[in-house]
Structure 1
Amino acid sequence: MCNTSLHAFLEALPKAEHHMHLEGSLEPELLFELAAKNDITLPSSDPAFASPECLRKRYENFQNLDDFLSYYYIGMSVLIDKADFEALAYAYFAKAASQNVRHAEVFFDPQAHASRGVELSTIVESFSRAQERAAVDFGMTTKLIMCLLRHLPLYEAMEMFSQARDGGYYANGTLAGVGMDSSEAPFPPPLWKDLYDVAKELDIRRTIHAGEEGPPLYVSQALDILDVERIDHGVRALTEGDDALVARLASSKTLLTLCPLSNVRLNCIDSIDSFPLRRLINSGIRFSINSDDPAYFGGYILENYCALQDAFNLSIRDWEAIAKGAVLGSWCTEERKEQLLIEIKDVADKWSRESEKE
């Protein structure tokens, strides 16, 4: 946790999270528990799977995105039935609520489960039950975004998207949008134009992981060719000096969903000090701070906030602006946005008054 006087304020600050993979919140203890329950054999040749503690230690030393993904997909293999998926999602919502996340828009990867015979309906209905419980138990609003996997053939992504569409999950609001993740560099945006064109025709919200591995051009192509409304990551556009793209993102108010601890763990940046926070603030880009895959990257949303505070020593008003920008970029209702903006202002005003007294 952060070592500054603002730690308690950061805990109290209402938060919106937009970049969190539910499968990425699978803590090692739950992974081992579900593996035993479902009779899943974990790789005995890998010493990381000797215990939850060994696995967590291994997570501290990913070499790159693909190294992480190899463990990520092994972890997914323990998720089999409805109870597993509901337990996974509810555990995240409970943790997020404890860090005062008031609205969460979360990803899931159905293709990775379909290859093991898990039906889309099993996943979506289980996550929906967890969402309903989170609304009752924590007063949290949530949205579910289906992500498709770039390293798999386009026709498989189209089939999964069609299942979701034909199953009525978009029409009834169960799914809030479509995104795309997994390995980035070898799979440029033009490959996915047909899929995103269909989503746009159906008025489905669209986002994509871009600018984590790939260069700023990847982000530009996602905007120009796929007409996405949001960029998940985009950090390389800010660290590699693409001024025109930065100006474009700022003027369009395209939300960047950034993940500082993830960027460090995956060697996208050298350290938290290298995270382009000042450029984000000074350029006027709308962004949110998120946890990505918190079980793998060393922290949930509050840990990401605290890491940035330790590195950049922001003010209460800086954090108020960041929190408000995250809400404004959300896909919740305007009424919910107004409610959250009031909550943020109230907390910021309270802590600002108290700090003035000191």
Structure 2
Amino acid sequence: MFTVPPIAAQRLPELLCTLPKAELHIHIEGSLEPELIFALAQRNHMPLAYPSVQALRSAYAFEHLQSFLDIYYAGASVLRHEQDFYDMAYAYLARAAMDKVVHAEIFFDPQTHTARGVPIEAVINGLYRACADARTERGISASLILCFLRHLSEEDAFATLQQALPLQDKFIGVGLDSSELGHPPEKFARVFARCRELGLHRVAHAGEEGPPAYIWSALDVLGAERIDHGVQAVHDAALLQRLVQERIALTVCPLSNQKLRVFPELKDHNLLQLLEAGVVVTVNSDDPAYFGGYINDNFTQLFAAVPGLTAQHAYQLARNSFEASFIPEADKARFIARLQAHCTAFASAA
């Protein structure tokens, strides 16, 4: 086990911001900043319900998940053409690279766009081109995960999968997102079984607002390889034990959890409890344009708010992000070695 050399508490924020890390829970439509929304609306000759960037940003006060989703889908409506998706994804990847993200696994919601008549090819090709260019120009690798909207039917999910299959070489897996309550994982058992046959990775949102039972179902019914959010797992001792024993990762999003009132205050977050229980926890930004921060903001604000988080925890969270990713084992080992070298060099530079 690698031990981080002693680092003064006042230097911890700098360490958090410079650690090489992976981001595994990022909805690309949720990275659409108000400035870009207005730019795309103008380019596509679309009216907006808000008179200014500031008026739109001021609307980002959410009572619960559904109130966020309502404005999230409205913002995504400005995405019409392949170049729009490219511009959105490239803007996120450039920002993530500044936060020392070296690998990202990006969620996208094709049904949000195909329902408006946008061809799925425009969505996937635009996102994929941005990933390819960011690798060359920014040094950040990225893969795409196609998500099904759980408030829609499984038949709709099957139709979306069928539309996407000619482009299967451009995404690595499937996920399940949108409104959790009232839409249990079982609803999508058959389409996830088909995705498994196709060799696609499988992840699912579960245990954010929904109960621990949804996490069990995501694992046992959907065959999920990691759980997005999953913070409600602390209420089920047997589930916690399974997560630890099977090294099933949780992609936790602290600022999102606070913004959507999963926890009253950031200081109440249970990430440290999960981490000390031995769960493979990671830190991510979810929908950074709406929830007040990208991945480094999530790290620094969480560590400032939750007593007891240390440099060793920071290292473990970054290491977990590589372990939980879908990159080849050789790449995981390379990134972890880079992470350890960074921690050692950072400590020696004191």
Q: TM-score, normalised by structure 1?
A: 0.93
Other structure's SS at 1:209 match: strand
Deviations 1:203-254 (A, max 9, x none): 211011111111111111111111111100111222xx21111111111111
Counterpart position of 2:190: 194
Amino acid at match of 2:220: D
Report the Cα offset of residue 353 of structure 1: 2.8
Tell whether 2:254 aligns with 1:253. no
CA distance in structure 1 between the aligned counterparts of 2:273 and 2:217, rounded to whole angstroms: 22
Does structure 1 residue 303 correspond to structure 2 residue 297? yes
Equivalent pair of 2:271/2:281 in contact (CA under 8 Å): no
Q: Deviations over 1:63-87 (max 9, x none)?
A: 1111000000000100011111100
Conserved in 2, the CA contact under 8 Å of 1:181 and 1:208? yes
Contact 1:4 1:310 survives alignment (8 Å): no
Give the equivalent residue in structure 2 for 1:271: 265
2:139 matched residue in structure 1: 139
Aligned to 1:51: 52
Mapped partners of 1:269, 1:50: distance in 2:
32
Does the residue aligned with 1:226 lie in a helix, a strand or coil?
Answer: coil
Aligned equivalent of 1:40, options 41, 46, 52 = 46
Q: Which amino acid aligns with 1:29?
A: E
Residue type of the alignment partner of 2:246: S
Give the letter for the 1:10 counterpart.
L
Runs (4+) of structure 1 exceeding 3 A deviation are: none
**Aligned: 1:99 with 2:92:** no
Cα distance between partner residues in 2 of 1:132 and 1:200: 26
Which residue of 1 is the match for residue 320 of structure 2?
325
**Deviation digits for residues 11-49 of structure 1 (CA, Å, limit 9, x no counterpart):** 210010000011000000110111121121222xxxxx2
Distance in 2 separating the partners of 1:315 and 1:274: 17
Q: Is 1:71–2:90 an aligned residue pair?
A: no
Q: Distance in 2 between matches of 1:245 and 1:116?
A: 40
CA distance in 2, matches of 1:291, 1:50: 27
Structure-1 separation of matches of 2:131 and 2:221: 33
Selected match of 2:276 from 282, 286, 290: 282
Gaps of 5+ in 1: 44-48
Unaligned runs of 5+ in 2: 1-8
Q: Is 1:18 aligned to 2:13, yes or no?
A: no
Contact 1:111/1:149, CA 8 A, preserved across alignment: yes
Q: 1:209 aligns with which of 181, 191, 205?
A: 205
Find the aligned partners of 2:37 and 2:327 in 1 and give their Cα distance: 31
CA contact (8 A) 1:316 1:351 kept: no
The answer to whether the 8 Å contact 2:106/2:142 transfers is yes
Q: Which amino acid aligns with 1:280?
A: L
CA distance in 1, matches of 2:221, 2:124: 29
Q: Equivalents in 1 of 2:58, 2:254: separation in Å?
A: 19
Aligned residues of 2:205 and 2:229 also touching (Cα < 8 A): yes
- Equivalent position amino acid for 1:347 in 2: H
* 2:34 paired residue number: 28
Q: Which residue of 2 aligns with 1:223?
A: 219
- Counterpart code for 2:280: R
The match for 2:331 is 336
Q: Distance in 1 between matches of 2:36 and 2:272?
A: 37
Secondary structure at the counterpart of residue 6 of structure 1: helix
Mapped partners of 2:250, 2:313: distance in 1? 17
Residues 1:82 and 2:82 aligned together: yes
Question: What SS does the aligned partner of 2:129 have?
Answer: helix
Tell me if structure 2 keeps the 8 A contact 1:147–1:179. yes
**C-alpha contact 1:317 1:348 (8 A) present in aligned 2:** no
1:293 paired to 2:293: no
Scaled by the length of structure 2, the TM-score of the pair is 0.95
Confirm or deny: 8 A CA contact 1:4 1:309 kept in the other structure.
no
SS in 1 for 2:223: coil
Look up the SS of the partner of 2:30 in the other structure. Answer: helix
Q: Distance in 2 between matches of 1:280 and 1:237?
A: 9
How large is the RMSD of aligned CA atoms in angstroms? 1.3
Instruction: State whether structure 2 residue 345 is matched by structure 1 residue 350.
Output: yes
* Maintained 8 Å contact 2:272/2:309: no
Structure 2 letter corresponding to 1:54: A
Distance in 1 of aligned mates of 2:296 and 2:79: 26
- Superposed displacement of residue 317, structure 1: 2.0
Q: Deviations over 1:73-105 (max 9, x none)?
A: 000100011111100000000000011000000
The 2-side partners of 1:4 and 1:89 are apart by 34
The count of corresponding residues between Structure 1 and Structure 2 is 341
What is the Cα deviation at residue 334 of structure 1? 1.6
1:5 aligns with 2:20: no
**Deviation, structure 1 residue 4:** 4.1
